[in-house]
Each structure stands twice: as C-alpha cells, then as structure tokens.
C-alpha cells in the first residue's frame, strides 16, 4: 500500500487512505508518517474489527461521509473488510449518480476460510454476492486467483493478476552484522504466521547440526507471551531472543537466514523484501511464496511441518554455497516484483475502468 501511494502520487494522482485504527503501534505510526507527504486526500483511521460486528455500521457511515466529501474516481479495497467498505460505499455513491470505480484485492483474507465450516460458507458466499458491486478483482498472485475460483467460484467480473511489488529503495543488499544470529523470524506473532513452528524447527535444527544455534523473533502480536513461555519451557530462552517490530532494513542486518514459517499466506512482502536485501529465505510452501522463490525451490518446506523446516534450516548453514544454489537471481525478482511494475499495472486498470464507464455514461445520455 505504501509503495502504491508513493508511486501513484509521483505520477501526479491524488491519493488517500482509510484504514483501521485499532491495531498497530509506534512502528506502524512511523510507517504512516513516511507517506503522509504523498497523501493529498489525507489519512483517515477508524476502528475496523477483523470479525463482522454491529460496529461495522458506524464505520461504514463514517467512511461514506468521508469518501463522499473527497469525490474520488477510484475506490480500491484491500483485504476483506476494505473490500466490503470500498464496494458498498462505492455502490451507495452510484445510487446518488456519482461515478466511481470499485475494486477489490483480497490479500488472502477471506480466502483462508474453509468452505466446510459455517463461518467459511457465510464469508465465501458474501464474496460471491459482492461481485455484483465490483468492477474489477485484482489478484496478487496465481495462488490467490486459483483459490478464489476454487472457493468462491469463477469470477463474474473483470480480473487482473498484478503481483505485489517493492520500491527501488528496497533493492539494496543489506550486510549481515558481525554479531548476527543464525536465523530471524520477522512478522506478526500469531499462529497463522507460524512462530510456534519456528521455535520447534529451531530446536530440531540444533539436534540435526549437533550444536547450539541462535535466533531472533522480531515483531508484535497477541500471542507474544505464549511464545516466550514456549521457549522458556524448552530451555531455548537464552538462544532465541525477542524484539519488538522494527523496520525490516534494521532487522535484516541481524541475520543472513530469514525464516517464514507461515501456515497460510497470499504473497507476503517479507519474502520479497528479504530477496531484495540479499537474504537467504527459508519458507513454507504456502500461498504465492513458490511463485517468488521458484515452484521447485529447495528452500520450501511442507506447511505445518517443523521437521521439514528444520532440515532446510540446517542445510542453509551446513551446505556450502546453499544461498547461491537456491535463491532466485536478483534481476528476475526485480523484473516481476518491483513497485513500479505493480503501480503501472494498477493505474492501467484504473484508467481502463474509468474510460469504459465514461463511455457508457455518454452513450446512455445521448
């Protein structure tokens, strides 16, 4: 989102953000401060809960009033709740004869739900229903597009595949510090992202290599204390440290090996940022990660399998030249996953939708 804001603003467009205020902390506030100069339409933060609740009605009304006053040409919802907000508010504006393009990018979100569960059935049926209020669906990887088709159904509106991208500033090798640890985990401290798998695999990698190792877990989240207790119970408290969320450039200097043990993903930025920084990525075979690392990459472990993850973590240390043998070439990463490519593709879609709607309006008026 930050890269899109900057790229679109530099191209001469006015951009604004409406997002949640109930999550995040000082680190996220600093990231928002970085892009404030690019937000001609401002930054509006309102409490948006992950789950469906009655408070959503108030959020929707506040968003409608704010968006109506700004009169944008495009509303692009990111994530499940963002998608609901953009499409319903956009449709309400159309009732009032105001033309606006309505787009949705899931970023995993509701697609993580299982169709066999009652909650999953409700969420996925709501996704299908909202296609009637959607001008285009944007998928950030092939995995997301295929999952949508499998769980929701073949899209009945326009779709585009536009990979996540990172800025030019991120394509810079970050040297590993002299006091670096063997592995780092960077991300939210919640089970979906697999911190518990990281702890299990770390202990098993020590046994494979037959010596003590070191690691850092960097991030914040609701289960932080539980993971700390897990490490202490297993006698790993002195070999795995924990640090609060920080800028990834700072975190990447603390180790060469970045472990991404997620149970579910779409196309995580941490993988792209790690590749651009020259880090060795060890990840689970979930979401769009194989599209970034290579579908047959030896760096990919089976999901929810600490033994397989531990084997790869050990290989990254004990096999000479493992990084060069397994990581994709930087040029290929940049050609597909750069912010400029992403932003240009998104803008092209915006223009196509706006031009098409204006032509239809002109035709109906005549």
Lowest mean per-residue pLDDT among 91-95, 157-161, 175-179, 185-189: 91-95
Cβ neighbors of 109 (< 8 A, separation 6 or more) are: 79, 80, 83, 266
User: pLDDT digit string (tens) for 243-285?
Assistant: 999 999 999 999 999 999 999 998 999 999 999 999 999 999 9
Is pLDDT above 80 for 55?
no
Residue 287's nearest CA partner among 276, 310, 273, 303 is 303
| Fold topology of 171-336 | Rossmann fold (3.40.50)
User: pLDDT digit string (tens) for 61-103?
Assistant: 888 898 999 999 999 999 988 999 999 999 999 877 788 999 9
- Res 287: pLDDT: 93
| Fold topology of 2-165+338-365 | Rossmann fold (3.40.50)
pLDDT band at 108 (very low <50, low <70, confident <90, very high): confident
- Res 51: pLDDT: 64
Q: Is the separation of the CB atoms in 261 and 183 below 8 Å?
A: no
Is pLDDT above 80 for 204?
yes
Q: In CATH terms, are 2-165+338-365 and 171-336 the same topology?
A: yes
- Res 222: pLDDT: 87
User: pLDDT digit string (tens) for 336-353?
Assistant: 999 999 999 999 999 999
Q: Is the separation of the CB atoms in 74 and 90 below 8 Å?
A: no
* Per-residue tokens: 172: 């810079």
Domain boundaries, the chain: 2-165+338-365, 171-336
pTM of the model: 0.85
């Amino acid at each position: 989102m930050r890269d899109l804001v900057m790229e679109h603003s530099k191209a001469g467009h006015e951009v604004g953000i409406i997002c949640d205020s109930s999550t995040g902390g000082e680190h996220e506030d600093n990231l928002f401060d970085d892009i404030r100069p690019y937000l001609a339409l401002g930054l509006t933060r309102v409490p948006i809960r992950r789950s469906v609740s009655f408070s959503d009605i108030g959020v929707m009304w506040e968003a409608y009033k704010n968006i109506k006053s700004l009169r944008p040409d495009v509303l692009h919802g990111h994530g499940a709740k963002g998608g609901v907000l953009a499409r319903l508010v956009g449709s309400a504006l159309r009732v009032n004869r105001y033309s606006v393009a309505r787009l949705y990018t899931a970023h995993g979100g509701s697609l993580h739900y299982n169709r066999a569960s009652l909650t999953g059935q409700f969420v996925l049926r709501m996704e299908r229903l909202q296609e009637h209020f959607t001008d285009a669906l944007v998928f950030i990887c092939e995995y997301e597009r295929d999952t949508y088709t499998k769980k929701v159904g073949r899209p009945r509106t326009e779709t585009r595949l536009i990979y996540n991208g990172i800025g030019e500033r991120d394509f810079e090798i970050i040297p590993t510090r002299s006091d670096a640890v063997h592995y780092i985990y960077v991300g939210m401290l919640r089970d979906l992202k697999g911190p518990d798998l990281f702890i299990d695999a770390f202990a098993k990698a020590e046994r494979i290599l037959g010596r003590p190792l070191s690691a850092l877990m960097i991030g914040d989240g609701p289960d932080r204390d539980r993971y700390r207790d897990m490490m202490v119970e297993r006698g790993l408290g002195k070999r795995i440290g924990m640090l609060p969320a920080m800028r990834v450039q700072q975190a990447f200097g603390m180790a060469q090996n970045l472990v991404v043990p997620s149970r579910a993903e779409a196309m995580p930025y941490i993988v792209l940022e790690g590749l651009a920084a020259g880090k060795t990525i060890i990840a689970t075979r979930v979401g769009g990660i194989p599209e970034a690392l290579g579908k047959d990459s030896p760096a990919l472990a089976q999901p929810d399998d600490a033994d397989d993850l531990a084997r790869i973590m050990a290989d990254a240390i004990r096999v000479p030249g493992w990084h060069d043998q397994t990581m994709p070439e930087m040029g290929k990463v940049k050609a597909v996953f750069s912010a400029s490519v992403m932003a240009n593709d998104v803008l092209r879609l915006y223009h196509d939708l706006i031009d098409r709607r204006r032509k239809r309006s002109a035709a109906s008026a005549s």
